[in-house]
């Protein structure tokens, strides 16, 4: 890869597949500047216009008297139907995209390799800014166990969240590279993938 060219690698996949592990390896072992869009989304919902739209769409009780968002309540309401999930994305995605470009801009001219962790990469249209897309997938039961442990969800809550996501094939069929989220050696898998894409020698 040319040192002068900026490269953006998008990492996507269903919840609980292991995207965070892959992104950490890309940052620590392969010199990528990582941007976590989940963190940007957490920032987005605290912006006044975004918070107002969320209250209007999903209820004034989403935020407490100090302005803190009840994320579990939002998830419960937003993932009840495809229509409501779509509305959540319509509200938050434009703000997240703006914050993403701001973060890239602040990284400095010397930073050339970026990796963005975007669960809804295609749905948000962010795949259009990526040079390559890497999908991380794992079996349903593996993901179910991981998100329950990670987010403290009940079985019903976890299944509801996963029901609103695409199947593995959706990600795998669109990506340039697919990584197995249950791999015993994800670093080696990434090295092979990045070499194939000519991102590293």
- pLDDT tens-place values along the chain, 201 residues long: 444 578 999 999 999 999 989 999 999 999 999 998 888 989 999 999 999 999 999 999 999 999 999 998 998 899 888 899 889 989 998 999 899 989 998 988 889 899 998 888 988 888 988 999 999 999 999 999 999 999 898 999 899 888 888 899 999 999 999 999 989 899 999 999 999 988 876
Q: What is the DSSP string of 50-107?
A: HHHHHHHHH-GGGB-TT--B-HHHHHHHHTSSHHHHHHHHHHHHHHHHHHHHHHHHHT
In whole angstroms, what is the distance from residue 9 CA to residue 32 CA? Answer: 9
In whole angstroms, what is the distance from residue 199 CA to residue 139 CA? Answer: 28
- Which residues are 7's β-sheet partners? 113
Provide the token pair at 153.
């969800």
pTM: 0.79
- Domains, the chain, in order of start with CATH, read 7-196 (3.40.50.300)
In whole angstroms, what is the distance from residue 91 CA to residue 53 CA? Answer: 7
């Amino acid at each position: 890869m040319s040192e002068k060219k900026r490269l953006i690698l998008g990492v996507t996949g269903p919840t609980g597949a292991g995207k965070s592990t892959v992104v950490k390896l890309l940052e620590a072992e392969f010199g990528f500047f990582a941007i976590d869009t989940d963190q940007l989304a957490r920032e987005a919902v605290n912006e006044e216009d975004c918070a107002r739209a969320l209250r209007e769409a999903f209820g004034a009780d989403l935020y407490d008297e100090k302005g803190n968002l009840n994320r579990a309540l939002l998830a419960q309401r937003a993932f009840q139907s495809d229509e409501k999930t779509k509305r959540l994305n319509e509200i938050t995605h434009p703000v997240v995209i703006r914050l993403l470009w701001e973060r890239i801009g602040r990284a400095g001219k010397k930073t050339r390799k970026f990796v963005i962790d975007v669960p809804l990469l295609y749905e948000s249209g962010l795949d259009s800014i990526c040079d390559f897309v890497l999908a991380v997938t794992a079996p349903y039961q593996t993901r179910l166990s991981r998100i329950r442990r990670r987010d403290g969800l009940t079985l019903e809550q976890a299944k509801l969240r996963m029901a609103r996501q695409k199947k593995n094939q959706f990600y795998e069929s669109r990506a340039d590279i697919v990584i197995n989220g249950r791999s015993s050696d994800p670093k080696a898998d990434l090295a092979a993938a990045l070499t194939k894409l000519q991102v590293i020698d």
